[in-house]
Amino acid sequence: MPPPVQIAFKRIGEPKVGENGYLGFTPGREEVHKADILVQHDVEIIVRDGARLYVDIYRPAGSDEKIPAVLSWSFYGKKYSALDMLPICVWKCCVTDKMLSGLEKFEGLDPAHWCPRGYAIVSVDSRGAGNSDGQIAVMGTQDAEDGFDVVEAIAKMDWCNGNIGMAGNSALAISQWNIAAQQPPSLKAIAPWEGMDDIYREQFCRGGWFSMSNFDLIAKAIVRGQPNAGLEDLEEMYRRKPAGSAFWEDKRIDMKKIKCPVYIRGSEVSALHTMGSIRGWMEIPHDQKWIHWGSTQEWYELYGQPESNDELQKYFDRFLKNKKNDWESTPRLSWSLLQFGDRPAIEHVLIEDFPVPNTDYKEFYLSPDNKLVDKPLSSLQKLTYDSEQHLSFAIFTKTFDKPTSLLGLPKAILYVSCADTSRDDFTVFIILRKLDKNGKTLYHLNFPIEATPVKSIDDIPEKEMASLNLFSGATGILRASHREIDESKSIHPQFPFHPHKRQQKLGPNEIVKLEIGIWAMGVHYDAGESISVRIGGQYPSIAEFTSFSGPRPEHELNRGEHIIHSGPDHPSRIILPFVEVNV
């Protein structure tokens, strides 16, 4: 059952014919679409509390063979397609219209490609979305229980062979973690590609710092429901209880409960999903799991790289059709090492596990000459930045004298205070940038250069620089009052778990120790290239989308100068994961 807490909802727009692919409510209507696909519109499924959810079913026409189904689950609208979404993105994420049929639910599999392969694709309007009953839950127990009921209902339909899978990116990946943890018997395999699994720690409140990220855009432009429907108001729920809330605790998925086979795709270039993919790999308690770590933007990977769907078919053929193919010979962990600049990533690096066994975690101390040094400082140094300025950083650099690969979980341990004695809290941001041999700061391009309209990253106009097409580097965030750690729940010593159950406010000039887990990285450096550690008071990477939300309240903002203390009693440092891999 959902958590015992009153949830705030915000109003959403009603579906309108012609908007976001909506064709009207037509339960019972069937038609044969292009490529001989039978479409059943607005099929009703009643879940355990009596609520009616509606799904569209796409399956091969004119066949009596029982086939498996793959569910596409989100509240984005079951006819809201990639053709609707991608035009608002830079370069349409390099996905051309001819790559899509328009039948696909956005971020889900395209029935025009999958029905001919012998699969049914089921697009779901989750609770509260479209014409489905109720209020829209963002992850959590209510959504997961609905998913259990829909999986089992589809498995019993007369055309289905009883085997259900789930696939898709982002929201459609998050729902897979959530539903699979309920262990529906007919859910035989999932393929979460780029999906977070804790929306407090990975999207809305990273390190205790609240941001609406891209969600206000989604709420205003995409989500639609009936006149009495609403969407969980996450900003209001944070205002009511910024720490220690049963509401947020219900939205961290227990990955140890997932028993079915799992094929994960993830990357560090995602601004949202990196650590969900990592925790999934590390905590799922069985060996029927695979992870492919990529270097391209997730929608391009799903729609613009046919080979990714071919590999996914082999996986589903094995577990949904019980074919004795060679899927089990697929490498368990295939990784990418980013090189940044106009150089493509080094792909298909095979590693034994993540983190890589025998990783050499080296400590580097923050020096006043802006260097990372390998020995603690002999005297106390105070290193500062203006926390109110986006381009004000304390910067520390390490140049590599030989080819070097950093792959794993970096961590910073900082001793920090705020010069403004009126502030009882502050937030610290860290980003790891790469520099070329001439000291130029680099970006990674999230698409193959030949798929883009430019010949070099340097050719990209500033207005077209976005997190969808450019990756700056791995980041870490922590609010000082949320510094408490529960080691029993940390996935690794390099990535501390902050319970966020209480706020420990600071006294004037108080120096606090912050252990900041930085999101996973995989970067290769040639001799002469450098890593630049940048510490500041504002979000340091490219925003995912323009925010529709209002400014944060004054008490949550950084003010004044922050002081990093580095010395014998305050060994501020960063720990980096050095590995030996074949590149």
Altogether, the residues listed in the chain come to a count of 583
Residue 216, number of CB atoms within 10 A of its CB: 18
How far apart, in whole angstroms, are the C-alpha atoms of residue 294 and residue 511? Answer: 39
28 close to 55: Cβ distance less than 8 angstroms: no
How far from the centroid of its chain's Cα atoms is residue 521's Cα? Answer: 14
- Residue whose token pair is 């001439």: 438
Taking each helix axis as running N to C, give the angle between helix 140-155 and helix 171-180, from 0 to 180 degrees, rounded to the nearest 10.
80
Q: What percent of the chain has pLDDT over 70?
A: 99
Question: What's the pLDDT at 547?
Answer: 62
8-state DSSP, 418: E
Let me know: does 520 contact 351? Beta carbons within 8 Å. no
**DSSP secondary structure code for residue 163 in this structure:** E
Q: How far apart are CA 334 and CA 165, in angstroms?
A: 22
Rounded Cα–Cα distance for residues 50 and 1 (Å)? 14
Which residues neighbour 550 within 8 Å (Cβ) at sequence distance 6 or greater?
Answer: none
How far apart (Å, rounded) are the C-alpha atoms in residues 213 and 72? 23
Residue 440's CB: how many other CB atoms inside 10 A? 10
Q: What percent of the chain has pLDDT over 90?
A: 93
CA dist., res. 478 & res. 208, Å (int): 6
What gap in Å lies between CA 513 and CA 504, rounded to an integer? Answer: 12
Task: Please give, one letter per residue, the 3-state secondary structure of 162-206.
Answer: EEEEEEEECHHHHHHHHHHCCCCCCEEEEEEECCCCEHHHHHHCH
In sequence order, the 6+-apart residues with CB closer than 8 A to the CB of 238 are 204, 205, 210
Q: What is the mean pLDDT of the chain?
A: 95
Q: Would you state the structure tokens that stand for residue 238, as one six-digit string?
A: 């944070």
**Residue 20, pLDDT above cutoff 70:** yes
DSSP code, position 203: I
Look up the CATH number of domain 360-540+548-579: 2.60.120.260
pLDDT per residue over 353-387, tens digit each? 999 999 999 999 999 999 999 999 999 999 999 99
User: Which of 415, 465, 431 is CA-nearest to residue 569?
Assistant: 415
pLDDT tens per residue across span 270-318:
889 999 999 999 999 999 999 999 999 999 999 999 999 999 999 999 9
Instruction: Write down the pLDDT at residue 545.
Output: 58
User: Confidence band (pLDDT; 50, 70, 90) for 546?
Assistant: low
393-437: per-residue pLDDT in tens?
999 999 999 999 999 999 999 999 999 999 999 999 999 999 999
Residues of the chain with CATH 3.40.50.1820: 9-326
pLDDT grade for 214, boundaries at 50, 70 and 90: confident
What mean pLDDT is predicted for residues 442-459? 98
Tell me the mean pLDDT in the region 34-62.
95
Confidence of residue 542 (pLDDT cuts 50, 70, 90): confident
Q: Are 118 and 313 spatial neighbours (Cβ–Cβ below 8 Å)?
A: no
SS3 label, residue 215: helix
DSSP state of 214: T
Q: What is the pLDDT of residue 3?
A: 75
9-326 fold: Rossmann fold (3.40.50)
Q: Which of 300, 312, 280 shows the shortest CA–CA distance to 113?
A: 312
Nearest Cα to Cα of residue 84 among 140, 18, 145: 18
Q: Output the six-digit token pair for 185.
A: 């018997």
Please tell me the predicted confidence (pLDDT) of residue 234. Answer: 95
Give me the mean pLDDT over the 52-56 stretch: 98
Which residue in this structure is represented by tokens 């603690």?
A: 376
SS3 content of the chain, % helix, strand, coil (to 5): 20, 30, 45
Q: What is the pLDDT of residue 499?
A: 97
Beta strand segments in 369-469, E: 372-373, 381-386, 393-399, 404-408, 411-418, 427-435, 444-445
Task: Report the pLDDT averaged over residues 99-124.
Answer: 97
Q: Are strands 262-266 and 289-293 parallel, antiparallel or unpaired?
A: parallel
| CATH 2.60.120.260, the chain: domain bounds | 360-540+548-579
